[in-house]
Structure 1
């Protein structure tokens, strides 16, 4: 059973195959429920593995729809979502399964291990949060809500992708592209009617390039306005989603969706989470105002939202004598990936081995991971931007480490997806340092899932981890992308192999927290908006009015009226972060504290790093992260380390 799955997705027959699989699953559930003497091994374990195998089947479709989006993947995925949602909702509301889990938890409490107890605890909670104990009419309505929510989230994401791909701005005047890095110009350049022209889009590498280096302020404004006003039709989706979330929460006995969301998180209440965010805001606001004053001094006119990246780059160069473009030749994509693996091998005593295989795209590739010379997991990389790929960066898991009913081991697998500058035969993919940080971040998620030693798939790897703790391992790892010893492992000029100099590394480290308090305010704006948006029912203009009221404190530069940020806020309307965006900062407290413990011990000599592997990474979601963290550090997290990490001194 330790063999990895072969990536394959038959789009033509997918819906038929899915329906056959679900019909088989429903029959198996009925058979399992007929068992008179239900135990963990004859009831819970088979159900777990049945769901794991369904994940194996469905994940390739969702992955393809994100990385090789086409009319066909959209069509099949759109058909599949209500089918899989209806199935999942029915299971989550099946009172017979719920009662069986409760009975098994009571009868076998003395004999089950902590992993098995955690599976039962989380399942019972999940059943109750899904309304399994409610009347049939209420359960039917909850099922309708879940199906509609899934459809709306998919539509929200697709609208953004379509709007992103629909916009392009063509530049013919050479003066308007002066200062743009050569590698970005190479990607933008095309010939038309015998003329050389340059096309800029809302895809991240292209958009960031012009907003950061483009001298023409009018063009920056056009790009910015197009970006922040994408997908206006999503406003109606937001209204419907918020109404459905509020209705669902009330049906389940909660005042609002924020209370419902935090029932499965580390933060005890929405008020406590808001208190945490407000504390960070109070500690950051004065430094942010000083940063803005410095930024304003570098501009010959009053700053607007579409100016900050451009003048920020000018100020960074002036203050730190740092030019991001000077660094990119040292961050060639393949070199960075290989160097990151060398670092992980040394830090955690693991090993990566490249595999030769054909995947969903020619730029995708895979590695096996070994620990103690034993094959442990498989990781897939798809790192370059293209029109058919959803924007952003993410890790998604496919297989979880576990054992099946026969005690056979299944190994874990996961995908790391980014949108870095595309490479060609003549043009390598040269990364910004921010891209390097992003890669380390997603890899942190990846190894959290892949190095799990847990034998119950529902709490293995990232499964079962509280949502506001799931960013801890990713943020922990991304911090090392600034460490000099780590940078020297991969920051080598792609043409000369010259290692990034100590002077350049020192500048990079000093510039790390450039405008960090302003950045903190921006993230806090998103987090506070998300939490407050889900504390009562907002609709129509009330959504914008709420965001505007928060911006009165967080947005030091007035936000233009055409900025409809919420219509592109995929994390909370098309992802899993609704009433949970604060998790990034909550988890950052854990990551900053653990990171400094490793650094203070000398990184590669760190015993805390090995304990982190053995406790956090091996432990998966089989214990609360609160308990695992105390096992790691011998205490609760020191919240002041978060401000230290961001260079904020109140």
Structure 2
């Protein structure tokens, strides 16, 4: 008899056997078992200890998490109507379960009793941290609310899980549904040959002539960046910028969802006694108050704005030289690329020819192997799609420390963007230590016309970024589930290892070893690398204020914006742009409608984390600059004090242990050429 693959925890996930019909039976069985066990743990009369109370609860959480992660991952990378239905049918069950768990006064009381007992002092640092985090999370989960308010709080959680999932689906559906066909070769002038070949093959697959362009990034971005036809750029930009809005199908419009999500978040925060959702969100982050975050962003904005204004003036002047006297949003990437080619005498397209996939991966692995003293080896495991592959990370003594899946190419029915997720978390069990396993997912262009996949330098940085998250998960040395890897790490410090890894993409001794021209095999010429470095901070001012714009919008949306008032999220983003932006999109731009980071992705009142953590990562990397960028000693220290520690202590303590002092902004400004 076939066993449900989602209920097999003996090894790696059985993706080759997983069916949508497996989801509901597995979730029902896991939740039913968990409720029985929790009832026993909550009503036990013996004094709570780590072994008789916390560990059994973590056992339950781990199994549910491992099963559901497989479902949510496949739903994101090989989405189908049947799988989506199974996912959406079961999401409320899980939300309901976790809401009940977070509000169980008996469990909360037993955690408090353990915290106040003599047994607490005999626990290790990681175990005490887990208990402290649990007490905080019970308060944030509504455990202290009166019964009637608990019911309302739980209902809010359930509604939010469905609304945020729907928000993401609307973006995916709008993106997948769009196609723009072009038959006139003059219209596609300037678009790179590999992008045109992909577009031609896509059109043929649909039984059409010419070229098919979509809103998937590898199709969309080359048009914005290189197409000489201004009307074609505008057509695609308009479609991309209005995704999931009132300009498309009513059932895919995120406008009402945004309002509902914001109202529910505000109500949730008020129930817990917070003035707003941002205050509630920051309760588990490094930053203390919304005001502190806004001050941080304002300080950074003041440093960046003169550079941003200078960037914009230069771009506008150059656009005029190209005959574009009224530069619009759909011209910015195109004019920027032309200006960069003119100023630094190279193009993204030229650089891309030197970064074939196999060479890039070998170069990435070489960095990991050098600074951490491990080996990365291709391995085998069941996967969800032919594009995906599997690897082991092994220590010099042959011990397996981590494993990861890699799924690099964009395709239909795959969520956009790039991300890392946890498949299995490191944890000590009776049989030994569970090896941590990560999912690393990107959306790059795949192989075309017999040539290997070629990556832009930006994509190489994205790969290094996601691998940094993966290392945080896989190189942990913490054996306790709740603070192992990225678990328990403050959200605004989670980006430290990922952004840290990006720095290596700007080092000659790293980059030269990961390049080979796709046609000649030649290494990236030093002269071209020098031009890339010279251009590294091209428009850094503009890019910085753009991130600040998104961060301020997010923080204000969740702190001083009234979702019940007459003003809309669109009004707010225009206000923020008045204060900080140098590039003004058209009024019909619907950026908030596809800002899934904050409406569907866990970054609500936390988007500032990218800049906050960039201060940490740049400052951490500056120690490598001082000791040698591939310094084994510094690499081991980074592993030992930051990656290995996971969430077992506050992120600031880990940073200080590595850097020897508190972080400052200087390295970030220097790296961005804004330290004059």
Q: Scaled by the length of structure 1, what TM-score is found?
A: 0.97
1:227 counterpart = 2:240: yes
Tell me the residue number matched to 1:400.
Answer: 425
**Whole-angstrom CA distance in 1 between matches of 2:428 and 2:631:** 33
Tell me the residue number matched to 2:498.
Answer: 474
Tell me the residue number matched to 1:450.
Answer: 474
CA contact (8 A) 1:303 1:557 kept: no
Tell me the residue number matched to 1:106.
Answer: 116
**Whole-angstrom CA distance in 2 between matches of 1:336 and 1:458:** 34
**Whole-angstrom CA distance in 2 between matches of 1:368 and 1:317:** 40
Map 1:534-545 → 2, pairs under 5 A:
534-536=558-560, 537-539=562-564, 541-545=567-571
**Whole-angstrom CA distance in 2 between matches of 1:606 and 1:509:** 25
1:560 counterpart = 2:586: yes
CA contact (8 A) 1:273 1:582 kept: yes
Alignment size in residue pairs: 649
Which of 492, 505, 516 aligns to 1:492? It is 516
Map 1:185-334 → 2, pairs under 5 A:
185-190=196-201, 196-232=209-245, 233-299=253-319, 300=323, 301-334=325-358
Which of 370, 385, 399 aligns to 1:361? It is 385
Compute the displacement of 1:462 (Å): 0.5
**Whole-angstrom CA distance in 2 between matches of 1:241 and 1:365:** 37
**Whole-angstrom CA distance in 2 between matches of 1:2 and 1:83:** 25
**Whole-angstrom CA distance in 1 between matches of 2:113 and 2:55:** 15
After TM superposition, the structure 1 stretch with the greater mean CA deviation from structure 2, 438-447 or 538-547, is: 538-547
CA contact (8 A) 1:3 1:410 kept: no
Tell me the residue number matched to 2:4.
Answer: none
Tell me the residue number matched to 1:67.
Answer: 77
Compute the displacement of 1:546 (Å): 1.1
1:54 counterpart = 2:64: yes
CA contact (8 A) 1:115 1:454 kept: yes
Q: Scaled by the length of structure 2, what TM-score is found?
A: 0.94
CA contact (8 A) 2:194 2:448 kept: no
1:167-208 C-alpha deviation (Å, 9 max, x unpaired): 111111111211211111111014669984011111001110
Tell me the residue number matched to 2:188.
Answer: 177
Alignment RMSD: 1.6
**Gapped regions of structure 1 (runs ≥ 5):** none
Tell me the residue number matched to 1:335.
Answer: 359
**Whole-angstrom CA distance in 2 between matches of 1:168 and 1:256:** 41
CA contact (8 A) 1:115 1:623 kept: yes
1:252-306 C-alpha deviation (Å, 9 max, x unpaired): 0100000000010001111000000011111111111111111112112121111
**Whole-angstrom CA distance in 1 between matches of 2:228 and 2:367:** 38
CA contact (8 A) 1:3 1:411 kept: no
Tell me the residue number matched to 1:147.
Answer: 158
CA contact (8 A) 1:590 1:637 kept: yes
Tell me the residue number matched to 2:400.
Answer: 375
Compute the displacement of 1:371 (Å): 2.1
Tell me the residue number matched to 1:430.
Answer: 454
After TM superposition, the structure 1 stretch with the greater mean CA deviation from structure 2, 492-501 or 341-350, is: 492-501
CA contact (8 A) 2:23 2:87 kept: no
1:131 counterpart = 2:153: no
1:436-481 C-alpha deviation (Å, 9 max, x unpaired): 0000000000010000110111100010000000000000001111
Tell me the residue number matched to 1:9.
Answer: 18
**Whole-angstrom CA distance in 1 between matches of 2:79 and 2:12:** 25
Which of 25, 32, 45 aligns to 2:34? It is 25
**Whole-angstrom CA distance in 1 between matches of 2:538 and 2:356:** 24
Secondary structure in 2 aligned to 1:170?
strand
CA contact (8 A) 1:2 1:409 kept: no
Compute the displacement of 1:134 (Å): 1.3
**Whole-angstrom CA distance in 2 between matches of 1:460 and 1:599:** 29
**Whole-angstrom CA distance in 2 between matches of 1:457 and 1:588:** 27
Which of 517, 520, 530 aligns to 1:506? It is 530
**Whole-angstrom CA distance in 1 between matches of 2:424 and 2:519:** 39
After TM superposition, the structure 1 stretch with the greater mean CA deviation from structure 2, 319-328 or 465-474, is: 319-328
Map 1:89-100 → 2, pairs under 5 A:
89-100=99-110
**Whole-angstrom CA distance in 2 between matches of 1:236 and 1:181:** 39
Secondary structure in 2 aligned to 1:604?
coil
Compute the displacement of 1:28 (Å): 0.8
Tell me the residue number matched to 2:613.
Answer: 587
1:492-541 C-alpha deviation (Å, 9 max, x unpaired): 11332211111111111111111010000110000000000011323564
CA contact (8 A) 2:13 2:382 kept: no
1:313-372 C-alpha deviation (Å, 9 max, x unpaired): 000011111211111121112221122011111111111111133411001010011124
**Whole-angstrom CA distance in 1 between matches of 2:381 and 2:150:** 46
After TM superposition, the structure 1 stretch with the greater mean CA deviation from structure 2, 422-431 or 580-589, is: 422-431
**Whole-angstrom CA distance in 1 between matches of 2:22 and 2:162:** 21
Compute the displacement of 1:491 (Å): 1.2
CA contact (8 A) 2:406 2:440 kept: yes
Map 1:514-529 → 2, pairs under 5 A:
514-529=538-553
